[in-house]
Amino acid sequence: METRTDHTELQVTGMHCASCSARLEKALNQLPGVSAVVNIATEKASITFDPQHADIKRLIAAVRVTGFDAHPLRDFAAEKAARAAAYRREQIQFVIAVLLTLPLLGEMLLMFFGIHMMMPGWLQFALATPVQFWIGRRFYTGAWSSLRGGGANMDVLVALGTSAAYLFSCAALLFDLDQPVYFEASATLITLVLLGKLLEARAKGKASSALEALINLQPKTAHVERDGVMQELAVEQMQVNDVFLVRPGESVPVDGSVLEGVSSLDEAMLTGESLPQVKHPGDKVYAATLNQRGLLKCRALAVGSHTQLAAIIRLVEQAQGSKAAIQKLADRISAVFVPAVVVIALLTFFAWWSMGSGFTTALINAVAVLVISCPCALGLATPTALVVSTGRAAQSGILVKDAAALERAHKLSVLVVDKTGTLTEGKPGVTDMIPEAEINQHELLETAAMLAQGSTHPLSRALLDHAKSLQITPAKTVQIDESSGQGLHAKIGGVHYLLGSPAFAISKGVIVDERQVLGLQQQGKTVIAVAQTTSPLTQAGEGPGERATYKQLGLIAFADQLRASSRAAVAQLAAMGIRV
């Protein structure tokens, strides 16, 4: 019988370096029925567990025993607000540390200009003490938590190194020893480490920006029918089978099916296709897709974490939370790095002292070994690069399965590329203009652009862009009637025009050269027909063109335009030995 497993993600606080994440991951994986991956860059623990052996409370308790804290993931907005507040605290602490440290460094900086000043020892003590024990208390609490949990992290190195310099200076000052003080060294080291923490927090914030962009695609509210009344509710309050409205220009709030209405939806964020998809009753709609024209009444089929958008976000989060082989190697090194550095620092101290260099020189060199050996870069470089790269890839429509897949990408020999939106711009452009004998291409484009002014369809925008590039300014239309996803009629100076798909034109009685249309379509192109009336309407009061006799003016073909960089990219891949 297959064992059922649950999955959860915990937000972890208190991790300061790769040895922290490695120690926590080891502790969680030692629990029965638990498989965990801890990511220092995202500060998350992704945990799969057997509910018969573990639950959320036990997992959080295990995290706290290791010296950290954790809580279930909150919504993204709450996490973003918490990160912003933490970043502001980092900034304030750093500014205070700089203000207290600069005077200590002043005498050294003035020496570069030939000015020799010596600040009184008691004043140096007064400036360095708040930096050491107020601003720097985080390193002491972090070191204690780490040691209590059975490990040693970066905080241990910082606390040992700065404390050695600070306490030696205090002893020299208190007992009036004939030795220099090094208060500026301890304060400067703490300030520089805080600067590193500030830059680290900024990098983590940037790493999550791509994920935030995906989450922001979904609207915050929706027009939902409850008890026969249409209400504006938060998307989080929507339930399966809720009936909701999507107005023109709005994004679909959840996955659903159309009950009433016809419209065109831009689904490029899901499919990459440049042309909108026409939706009729019974068709499915997806969260974050954009309603371009008509009013749609829909029924919710999937909400919250069950939508297609949520599935994409989960894939990105899983990829960011996974570990590449090189990252696992870095974690193993970080786990033994701190104890090894402490041993090397002790050996350095005794080596210098035994060579007769004196206690002060031996201590300075030992402190130097401690403070320059913080394994931050070792543990953060790989996960931060992974988070940033997978996030940016998601913004470009590339979903990375996991870190291992990304790491193996350099071994590619064959690359299969989806043309639309990858090699192409993801939007249509005019490729062919085939006018009838009595008009020329300029007149055909001018007429088509004149009709397209009343539409927001991508093909209409492509027509107007093409006309603008040829410096053609279309005349204004008077009356327009658009059939969503099919075409439109327009009345200009008593003459009725038609612009739309070949099928739409044929349905209105236009004789279309179907062989020509088929030939263009076989080239992967989208074709529209342009026609005008040859006789006036025979019955007043009907819609424009309903009873008119139309004559085709010409055909216009569109295709997704090749990106300017595509040829060079394919050539570069070929030069690397990769078949595309």
Per the structure block, which two tokens stand in for 363? Answer: 């201590």
Residues 6+ apart with CB under 8 A from 166: 128, 132, 182, 183, 186
User: Among residues 16, 46, 73, which one ends one of the domains?
Assistant: 73
**Does an H or E element contain 308, and which?**
helix 308-321
**Does an H or E element contain 442, and which?**
helix 441-452
Separation of alpha carbons 101 and 106, rounded Å: 9
Structural domain contains residue 506:
yes
What pLDDT, on the 0 to 100 scale, is given for residue 2? 55
Separation of alpha carbons 508 and 486, rounded Å: 12
Question: 384: helix, coil or strand?
Answer: helix
Residue type, 372: I
CATH of residue 20: 3.30.70.100
Per the structure block, which two tokens stand in for 515? Answer: 């062989």
Structural domain contains residue 37:
yes
CB atoms within 10 A of CB 183: 27
Structural domain contains residue 136:
no
Structural domain contains residue 312:
no
Structural domain contains residue 113:
no
Which of 69, 418, 513, 560 is an active site residue? 418
What pLDDT, on the 0 to 100 scale, is given for residue 448? 92
Give ∠ CA 234-237-240 in degrees, rounded to 5: 125
Q: Which domain holds residue 49?
A: 6-73
What pLDDT, on the 0 to 100 scale, is given for residue 460? 87
Question: 83: helix, coil or strand?
Answer: helix
- Whole-model pTM: value is 0.57
Separation of alpha carbons 214 and 394, rounded Å: 8
Give ∠ CA 455-456-459 in degrees, rounded to 5: 85
Alpha carbon of 346 to those of 226, 338, 343, 363: distances in Å?
Answer: 72, 13, 5, 9
CATH of residue 248: 2.70.150.10
Residue 418 among the catalytic residues: yes
pLDDT in tens, 171-227: 888 887 677 788 888 898 888 888 877 876 776 666 566 667 777 888 989 999 988
Residues 6+ apart with CB under 8 A from 62: 27, 28, 31
Separation of alpha carbons 132 and 190, rounded Å: 7
Those residues of the chain that have pLDDT short of 50 are 1, 537-546
CATH of residue 512: 3.40.1110.10
Structural domain contains residue 455:
yes
Q: Determine the straight-line distance between the first and last CA of the chain, rounded to whole angstroms.
A: 44
Separation of alpha carbons 74 and 214, rounded Å: 17
Structural domain contains residue 539:
yes
Per the structure block, which two tokens stand in for 468? Answer: 């603008």
What pLDDT, on the 0 to 100 scale, is given for residue 179? 74
Per the structure block, which two tokens stand in for 8? Answer: 């959860």
Pair 298, 428 in one domain: no
Structural domain contains residue 142:
no
Question: 55: helix, coil or strand?
Answer: coil
Listing from the earlier edge strand, what are the strands of the sheet with 263-266?
Answer: 277-279, 263-266, 290-291
Pair 429, 558 in one domain: yes
Pair 302, 428 in one domain: no
The residue among 155, 160, 104 whose CA lies nearest residue 368 is: 160
User: Among residues 285, 306, 327, which one ends one of the domains?
Assistant: 306
Q: How many domains does the chain have?
A: 3
Cβ–Cβ < 8 Å for 270, 286: yes
User: Among residues 264, 281, 306, which one ends one of the domains?
Assistant: 306
Q: 281-285 long-range CB contacts below 8 Å, 24 or more apart?
A: 282/257, 282/258, 283/257, 283/258, 284/255, 284/256, 284/257, 284/258, 285/246, 285/252, 285/255, 285/256, 285/257, 285/258
